[in-house]
Structure 1
């Protein structure tokens, strides 16, 4: 039974910078910064003091323009990049007491394979395009220690059916699939080990509108049926409005506004968020 009072994920003051910084841009004020870039030393502060929680069965939306730090934050959460500083705790891992960023590379692989799933904007980052679709799912199961071929085949079929990929195409390589079908295979792979947390980064960008709608419907269905927690990044407020319970708004590497999605869309407080909402109307 899930503890709905306890966050599935707690993130505390994530910082990610590219460059060493200098007297002009270091420190809490960082007066020398041009947005999140230091023109003196060239350091880019991609994420600055990012903190939030994700609760059981919740979808947290992350919205902001290109370069706001959304995707960098997601890469840090999935260990695709190292954070410069900060902490993150997964409630079901070591009783939520271990800062996952401080764990060894071996433990981080374990976390990726057992506690996290990620769906990338570009399927090439997740899928082996020449493997079969069911083979891609098996790869994640094998990484988590599964060695039973029948169990893996059964799980792969179950997941492909769940994401509406016809089973007669399960031996087909994703390179033969449309963009929407590739995203569905990615989602199936990410779900293979029943992770408590799913990270989705711009999963509908570049898809036709009708395909976008079907992928969003699938995400909604998965969340409702599996009660899985999700963090979904998008620059499209329409996607966030459809999916997210709560939303954080990022600009220049910082969170500038957060709250219930309805509240942010109906009564935005920050000038940038107001412009975003106006662009949706």
Structure 2
């Protein structure tokens, strides 16, 4: 692992609501969990900082409502961060705060540098397009206009995620949940992004299908050297995939470190509860 991170996030904040005198000052906030009972403002992400290194899988674990999916949406520009900075180690964006880029520049980052796999495949796929058509859509968004090249890339990626190629012209709506996730992973990889985000990708899948999807993710990471952030409420998923882990609760990072270290010697009471629930 190299010393220089491929992605740095500093003091990321995401607030839903207008804030009030009871919650707008960090030192004197009167919150219930991450919610202001006076004005209804939700502090979904609070002062989140971390680094992602080349070829690494960073796991983010926490219960529903902890802010982990909101964090991913801010990183992929599905939501606008309220505050903070993000830096990517890429020649075109050296020392530039990615959150402060123009919409056009953000589209470039989203289409060339980042990939996203959503919990619900319908968010990442056009369900009425063919599977290979979904990959072509992502390639076209990145400026590719060569039909033969798009077909080659699409076929290669669908084969890599073990989708039967005789079904590549079928729409994802005709597939099982596990197969839909495979198409979504292929689409996210279509421009060979150096960074891939995976948000609860095994939730709702049968255990045997979960195992095959996790095995696929690990194989892709090993073969392609992609840096990944994997979000899950399931510590067993994080244990299988992640080199390092962050634990989130009520919009904050309460513990982070090597995954083995967190599993063997959790420091925070909530993390201890998570780990003991695995045993």
Name the structure 1 match of 2:242: 244
Equivalent residue in structure 2 for 1:100, among 98, 101, 117: 98
Partner residue, 2:223: 225
The reply on whether 1:174 has 2:172 as its aligned counterpart is: yes
Question: Aligned equivalents of 2:253 and 2:130: distance in 1?
Answer: 40
* Alignment partners' CA distance in 2, 1:129 and 1:42: 36
TM-score, scaled relative to structure 1: 0.98
Aligned position for 1:54: 52
The DSSP-based 3-state class of the residue aligned with 1:262 is helix
RMSD: 0.9
Counterparts of 1:210-221 in structure 2, within 5 Å, are 210-221=208-219
Runs of 4+ off more than 2 Å: 28-31, 93-96
Deviation at 1:22, TM superposition (A): 1.3
Within the candidate set 194, 197, 213, 2:195 is matched to 197
Aligned residue number for residue 135 of structure 1: 133
Structure 1, unaligned runs of 5 or more: none
Q: d(CA) in 2 for partners of 1:101 and 1:19? A: 20
Cα deviation, 1:164-216, whole Å, max 9, x if unaligned, reads 00110110100011000000000000000010100000000000000000000
Q: Which residue of 2 aligns with 1:81?
A: 79
- Tell me which of 154, 157, 173 is aligned to 1:156: 154
Secondary structure of the 2:26 match is: coil
The aligned residue for residue 6 of structure 1 is: 4
Paired residue for 2:27? 29
SS at structure 1 position matched to 2:186? helix
Instruction: Find the partner of 1:41 among 39, 42, 52.
Output: 39
**Secondary structure of the structure 2 residue equivalent to 1:25:** coil
Give distance in 2, aligned partners of 1:244 and 1:188.
Answer: 20
**Structure 1 residue 267 and structure 2 residue 265: aligned?**
yes
SS of the equivalent of 1:230 reads strand
Number of residue pairs the alignment of both structures matches: 279
- Once the two structures are TM-superposed, the CA of residue 93 in structure 1 deviates from its matched residue by 4.8
Distance 1:169 1:29 in 2: 57
C-alpha separation between the residues in 1 aligned to 2:170 and 2:270? Answer: 45
5+ residue gaps, structure 2, are: none
2:183 is aligned to 185
| Whole-angstrom distance in 1 between the partners of 2:220 and 2:18 | 42
